[in-house]
Structure 1
Amino acid sequence: MFKLFRENVRIAIGSIRTQLLRTILTVLIIAIGITALVGILTVVSALENTLSSDFASMGANTFNINRYESNTRQRGGEREIINPIISYPQAVAFKNKYSYPLTQTSISFTATSTAEIKFEATKTDPENKIVGVDEYFMANSGLETSSGRNFTEFDIKNNTYNCIVGSDFEKGLLKDVNPIDKIISIRGAKFKVIGVLKEKGSTFGNSQDLRVLIPIQVARSLFTAPNINYTMSIMVSKKELLDQAIDNANSTMRRVRKLSPVKDNNFAIVRSDDLINKILSITQYLGLASWVIGIITILGSSIALMNIMIVSVTERTREIGVRKALGAKKTTVAFQFFIETLLIGQLGGLVGIILGIAIGYAIATAIDFVFVIPWGAISAAFLTSFTVAIISGLYPAIKASKLDPIEALRYE
């Protein structure tokens, strides 16, 4: 049986060589469909991996309370603010009133996103984010230091001029020096670096590593812009208590906001897992689109492959007649043409997989996504090319096996 299979493979390869141009064109048609499928699925996988990495940094078993959106509406001739900012007194009031078991609450705010940082005679471009935080901010946000330490309760309560910098500072302003205990200047105030954050990378071109964390009261004294919005982040130690903790936080925040029972919330509660699930659900449509594009193109390649095999059967009618006259069975003849179709189909699939991964990698690199090898897409492409070969090769193989040997030998 194996000897017969090996002989059929040898004959199939010989036939492919005699029709090289036609085979190359068919392989390219199949490869285009597989490339479209694998390429898009590779980019989708890279997007999902990037989003998972970025939003996982929000921290496990956490939820944030923040301003939902800023707009107003007319009501009885008066302009009503629907979603006002969360002020510092409200944030502190929430933290003091919220006492759900096994939780810790952090208060933070973005002071500016255009800060200029100085170290000795060197200064950065005005593109650094300054964030006012407390001692729980890093734990609740899933952040860690690569060197140095986090803020302590003493740092926050005593308003020490200490800071934690993003990893990009080690490549720029604080390059070639040990950042720990170095003094940097922010708005004329001197801060001692006590820690460096682990690298987080960029999200859609926005670097997560160009930020400086400073104690919240110090940040409030340096940055006094009106209408500063604060965010509360709550981490729950046990995942099974997360839903109850959110319900309790919702009722606590409504009391802080002095909302009557008939009024809707004018703040947002965002779970760390809900946020990523909503965003990743959008990528499902991209995956569906890739399958539609791939299937349409593969349908065309199936027709082309079937056509080349039908033509091959017609051109080799006398050969089939000779084989049958020498005793070849119908299954043997059918198997020979079927193997030939499978070889062409799998060759097209292999070329398409390589091109698809290469294109997906190039796109992911260009838009700064985290590239991952799309094993699911590769498996789908292999299965698809195999199915195409089976469907396309079935009819020509059956047609070849049913040829009458006498009539085939007479064929000119």
Structure 2
Amino acid sequence: MFNLFRENTRIALASIRGQKLRTILTVFIIGLGVWALVGILAAVAVLENSITGNLAVMGSNTFTITRYDYSEQVGRQNNSDARVNPVITYPQAKQFQDKYNFIGAQTSLSFTAASSVEVKYEGKKTDPEITIVGADENFLPNSGLETTSGRNFNNFDISNNSFVCIVGADFEKGLFKDVNPIGKELSIRGARFKVIGVLKGRGSTFGNRQDLNVIIPIQLARSLFSAPSIDYTIKVSITNQDLLDGAVGEAILTLRRLRKLSPSANDNFGIERSDELLESLKSQTDTLSTAAWVIGVITVFGSSVALMNIMLVSVTERTREIGVRKSLGAKKGTIAMQFFTETLVVCLMGGFVGTLLGLLTGFAISVFGSMAFPMPWMATIAALGTIIFVTIVSGLYPAIKAAALDPVEALRYE
């Protein structure tokens, strides 16, 4: 059986070499279908890994209080329906931190002090693309951030307004390339900050380059980057996930009292739970995956039809060859296997090209978006299944037709 398969493979390769243009077109058609399937699935895997990965590191026991509930804003038909909420001021955020005493809760305060800032180190400086974040000592653990070198803020740094900072991972590729950042001093708008920590890389999500952030103590940020109507963010983490519902309810009551809302008034702030946001994003990426499968299947179906037609043309052109082989004693199964093997070889070539292009597409998207590239095993398995499917669908009927030809009529074919 193996010898027969080897012989059929040899004949198939000889036929492929003899019809180079047809083979190239056929490989292109199969490769295009597999490329569409693998490329879309790989791109979805990259996006899913980037979006959900950043949320997953925070755990499912955190929630964030912001000015708006952005999940409610999405889907409004027009902006006139949107309610204008007052900002969360520093006194409100600080009072919340002092009065919110839910068991096992840890609260952090932060705000975006400035964007598009230029940062200097010795004779070098960055492009004006750095984001300055003012935060306290609980901001890093509550946000799922961790340092690869150095340390986090401590209570002494925050309470004494120490001129220290924590920088994003990209600083090790720019200002501090080939230099240990810990202990070095950065100049930010004339103030000098000692670097005490470097964050683990988080990549970019929809253009938000988190690895270009500089985090400084919150009170220093308030004094250096004063602006009207600064909006503060409150992040809360609890030790027991089972108590998350109660913690969120207590937080709502506390902030409603601080913002002096009547019992009948709606909340004029938003709460985003990490577990709900993660589930929502997973649901959306599942929808993208489903759409990718539908598009890929349609493309592969078109490829299968095109390949079947090409193989039928090949059977017609080689009718006399089939008659000669049958007259020399070739059985129907041998003839059928020859054409089926030829289809398989062409499909493997197209599948390899399509899979390679699909993986390169996903990798290019990850590089362009500064995101991690997870190996899309599902896409690779899908490519293998696609090759098997296309081979069976496209090769079975032409192989059966070739095997069923009458040898006498085949020999008379011109």
Q: TM-score, normalised by structure 2?
A: 0.86
CA shift for structure 1 position 275: 3.0
Residues paired across the two proteins, number: 404
Q: Does residue 6 of the first structure (1) align with residue 2 of the second (2)?
A: no
Question: Structure 2: where are the runs of 5+ without partners?
Answer: 74-81
Matched letter for residue 369 of structure 1:
M
Identity, % of aligned pairs? 61
Change (3 A) 1:216 1:355: closer
SS in 2 for 1:195: strand
Question: Does the Cα contact within 8 Å between 1:145 and 1:197 map onto a contact in 2?
Answer: yes
1:82-127 Cα distance to aligned partner (Å, 9 max, x none): 4111112221222223222222111111222244444456554443
Change (3 A) 1:269 1:19: same
Residue 409 of structure 2: aligned partner? 407
Question: Does the Cα contact within 8 Å between 2:87 and 2:230 map onto a contact in 1?
Answer: yes
Q: Does residue 164 of the first structure (1) align with residue 160 of the second (2)?
A: no
Question: Does the Cα contact within 8 Å between 1:60 and 1:235 map onto a contact in 2?
Answer: no
CA shift for structure 1 position 327: 4.0
Matched letter for residue 308 of structure 1:
I
Residue 48 of structure 1: aligned partner? 48
SS in 2 for 1:209: helix
1:190-235 Cα distance to aligned partner (Å, 9 max, x none): 4333323233333344432333222222322333312111111111
Residue 323 of structure 2: aligned partner? 321
Change (3 A) 1:206 1:262: same
Matched letter for residue 169 of structure 2:
S
Q: Does residue 337 of the first structure (1) align with residue 339 of the second (2)?
A: yes
Change (3 A) 1:167 1:34: closer
Q: TM-score, normalised by structure 1?
A: 0.87
Question: Does the Cα contact within 8 Å between 1:69 and 1:83 map onto a contact in 2?
Answer: no
Residue 36 of structure 2: aligned partner? 36
CA shift for structure 1 position 286: 4.1
| Higher mean C-alpha displacement, 380-389 vs 47-56 | 47-56
Q: Does residue 225 of the first structure (1) align with residue 189 of the second (2)?
A: no
Instruction: Return the match for 1:106 from 108, 117, 121.
Output: 108
Question: Does the Cα contact within 8 Å between 1:47 and 1:370 map onto a contact in 2?
Answer: no
Residue 74 of structure 1: aligned partner? none
Change (3 A) 1:304 1:219: closer
CA shift for structure 1 position 34: 1.5
Residue 93 of structure 2: aligned partner? 91
Change (3 A) 1:311 1:48: same
Question: Structure 1: where are the runs of 5+ without partners?
Answer: 72-79
Change (3 A) 1:113 1:7: same
CA shift for structure 1 position 289: 4.2
Residue 361 of structure 1: aligned partner? 363
Change (3 A) 1:22 1:68: same
SS in 1 for 2:211: coil
Q: Distance in 1 between matches of 2:391 and 2:373?
A: 30
1:342-396 Cα distance to aligned partner (Å, 9 max, x none): 2222221111112222233334323333223322112212211221121111211
Residue 138 of structure 1: aligned partner? 140
Q: Does residue 389 of the first structure (1) align with residue 391 of the second (2)?
A: yes
Residue 244 of structure 1: aligned partner? 246
1:134-166 Cα distance to aligned partner (Å, 9 max, x none): 121111112222332222122222333333233
| Higher mean C-alpha displacement, 166-175 vs 225-234 | 166-175
